[in-house]
Amino acid sequence: MERKLRKERQGVVTSNKMDKTIVVAVKWKEKHPLYGKFVNKTRKFHVHDEKNECGVGDTVRIMETRPLSKTVRWRLTQIIERAK
């Protein structure tokens, strides 16, 4: 049996105060349905970070996974860029 493709997102770490969990803000632009102006949208995800290796400001790639806790449904796959 083959697994389905999992959702992937790229975002910036906004908090790493929890143990093995980070908060990642994913931003995208969406066109307003009536006025046509592009509006910035943001969504926060709780992400499992097994080795506690991320810092605030890091750009990361995350992947959807099974529920790991009440709020955590994503896991860290790659750190793209460290915060300066």
Domains in the chain, ordered, with CATH? 8-81 (2.40.50.140)
Residue 58 banded pLDDT, cuts 50, 70, 90? very high
Burial class (CB in 10 A: 0-12, 13-18, 19+), 15: middle
**59-83 tens-digit pLDDT:** 999 999 999 999 999 999 999 999 9
How far is residue 80's CA from residue 82's CA, in Å, rounded to a whole number? 7
pTM to 2 decimals? 0.90
C-alpha radius of gyration, the chain, whole number: 14
